[in-house]
């Protein structure tokens, strides 16, 4: 059963879209195949009817299209080069980076929480704490007014 909000957004379908996007970007990072090929494989291999397909594709295409901008922004908050970050954590950071920069319709706390949950599910044991730390700093920089408002409120 769908649990859409009044604005028509289904948070569960969006969560699934983020998890699928993480898996697709992970595969893309490791095998270097063209994004359209990776997306096509995912459409056939994954149960995409329970995910927000439009949001999934926006995340994947958006990350790839803005990769240099996202990586440059994240690098200020990393203790190593982006390519040295675990591939699951790197994919989660890139998706969250894209959302923080480009999807201002999504609250920063939702973005960070989703990245943490995806990293807990697919990443190393303590990868989520690293992702949380990086994204807290990135959100404070990229969404300063929103973060300050949340801290005051």
Residue bearing the bigger pLDDT, 147 or 93:
93
45-58 confidence digits (pLDDT tens): 656 667 788 999 99
pLDDT at site 1: 41
Domain boundaries, the chain: 11-152
Alpha helices in 52-122 (DSSP H): 53-65, 67-75, 87-102, 108-122
> For position 117, what pLDDT does the model report?
96
pLDDT tens profile 56-72: 999 999 999 999 999 99
Average pLDDT value for residue range 10-26: 92
pLDDT at 22 over 70: yes
Q: Grade residue 153 by pLDDT with cuts at 50, 70 and 90.
A: low
Quote the CATH superfamily of domain 11-152.
Answer: NusB-like (1.10.940.10)
Q: What is the DSSP string of 33-53?
A: --HHHHHHHHHHHS-GGGS-H
> What is the value of pTM for the model shown?
0.91
DSSP-derived 3-state class of residue 106: coil
């Amino acid at each position: 059963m769908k649990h859409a909000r009044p604005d028509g957004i289904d948070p569960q379908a969006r969560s699934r879209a983020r998890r699928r996007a993480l898996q697709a970007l992970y595969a893309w990072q490791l095998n270097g195949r063209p994004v359209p090929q990776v997306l096509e494989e995912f459409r056939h291999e994954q149960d995409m009817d329970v995910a927000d397909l439009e949001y999934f594709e926006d995340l994947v295409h958006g990350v790839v299209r803005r990769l240099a901008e996202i990586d440059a922004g994240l690098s200020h908050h990393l203790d190593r080069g982006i390519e040295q970050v675990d591939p699951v954590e790197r994919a989660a950071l890139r998706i969250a980076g894209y959302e923080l920069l480009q999807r201002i319709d999504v609250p920063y706390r939702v973005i960070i929480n989703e990245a943490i949950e995806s990293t807990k599910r697919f990443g190393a044991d303590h990868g989520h704490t690293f992702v949380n730390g990086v994204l807290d700093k990135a959100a404070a920089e990229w969404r300063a007014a929103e973060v300050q408002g949340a801290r005051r409120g």
